[in-house]
Amino acid sequence: MTANIIDGKAFASGLRGRIGALVPAFVARAGRAPGLAVVLVGDDPASQVYVRSKHKATVEAGMQSFEHRLPADTSAQALLALVADLNADTCVDGILVQLPLPPHIDDKAVLAAIDPAKDVDGFHVVNAGKLAVGEQALVPCTPLGSLMLLKDVLGDLAGLHAVVIGRSNIVGKPMAQLLLQQSCTVTIAHSRTRDLPAIVRLADIVVAAVGRAEMVRGDWIKQGATVIDVGINRVPANEPGQTRLVGDVAYDECTQVAGAITPVPGGVGPMTIACLLRNTLVAAHHRAGLAAPVGL
């Protein structure tokens, strides 16, 4: 058996197109474009790439992009003051503070300072709590995008056994909540889990969000299971001095067994930015007192 390769890049491109097509109707009713503010502190190269991509995608969707680049020695007070200004700015619907922050800044305090209605990353405890109790919330983008791919491949997820490997607040925990909302039977595995391969072998759905290159092996996967690889790991390539990206899943092995699988790159990664635009459009509608578009 060779797995169906889930084309996250194509799905994300379609989603971004649908979002962009909805923006003019919002502009006509609200009298302004949805606005996303992205704050980058310091000069971490990976974060710079992410912020550039987010800016480009925001503008392409017809939204306003507000970029704030601050030096690495910015004080916590100065960053909190900027967040307060963005909270008060009526043109800003979404605020994203790019993580990681420099070590002298408490990221929890910064995330807590963001207005939950503008928390398009879905990391604020108010949004995490709403997700946990099943209320309408802004949901973290990577798990939301992963769920969209799963529903696209499998349709109804009810009754399926999902094993989520990883319990971070950004990916693992919200992913598990979303799958539970879909009536999956959910197991959350982590670094202290005993006999992980045996647990993964029970799964109809495997979501790997660990940060360990190719940890999930082909003989862990049940025949026909759907595998979502969230991991992004840079490893040495065959050519000296070069690197390449791999996921948390041993892709070549798992494609022989799985029913469907996301590649890295080109799987979950592109969904994250598409869902950021989706959350910004939804937040903009709520803030303008308009019903959020359905089917996004």
Told to check if 231 binds ligand NDP by CB under 6 A, we report yes
Nearer to ligand NDP, 26 or 50 (CB): 50
When binding is defined by CB under 6 A, the residue of 167, 278, 285, 287 that contacts ligand NDP is 167
Dihedral angle sign, alpha carbons of residues 202, 204, 205, 211: positive
- Sole binder of ligand NDP in the list 20, 193, 201, 292 (CB under 6 A): 193
Active-site residue set: 54, 98, 121
Q: Is 2 in the site for ligand NDP (CB under 6 A)?
A: no
Q: Tell me which residues in 260-279 interact with ligand NDP (CB under 6 A).
A: 268-269, 272
Q: Which of residues 31, 192, 242, 295 is near ligand NDP by CB under 6 A?
A: 192
Q: Please, what is the minimum distance in Å from the beta carbon of residue 112 to ligand NDP?
A: 18
Question: Smaller CB distance to ligand NDP: residue 156 or 195?
Answer: 195
233 binds ligand NDP (CB under 6 A): yes
Report the alpha-carbon distance of residue 15 to residue 287 in Å, rounded.
22
Sign of CA dihedral 89, 126, 140, 25: negative
Termini Cα distance of the chain: 33
Name 56's Cβ contacts closer than 8 Å, sequence gap at least 6.
none
Q: 22 or 189, CB closer to ligand NDP? A: 189
Rounded Cα distance between 187 and 41, Å, is 36
**Sole binder of ligand NDP in the list 34, 62, 143, 166 (CB under 6 A):** 166
Q: Find the shortest distance in angstroms from Cβ 240 to ligand NDP.
A: 24
Is residue 164 a contact residue for ligand NDP (CB under 6 A)? no
Q: 100 preceded by cis ω (within 30°)? A: yes
Q: Under the criterion CB under 6 A, does residue 191 sit at the interface with ligand NDP?
A: yes
Q: What are the backbone dihedrals phi and psi of residue 50, each rounded to the nearest 5 degrees, phi first? A: -60, -45
Distance in angstroms (rounded) separating the CA atoms of residues 58 and 25? 16
Work out whether 210 is an interface residue with ligand NDP (CB under 6 A): yes
CA triplet 18, 11, 170: central angle to 5 degrees? 95
Q: Is the peptide bond before 265 cis (omega within 30 degrees of 0)?
A: yes
Rounded Cα–Cα distance for residues 265 and 147 (Å)? 17
194 sits near ligand NDP (criterion: CB under 6 A):
no
For binding to ligand NDP (CB under 6 A), which residues are involved?
A: 142, 165-168, 170-172, 189-193, 196, 209-212, 230-233, 268-269, 272
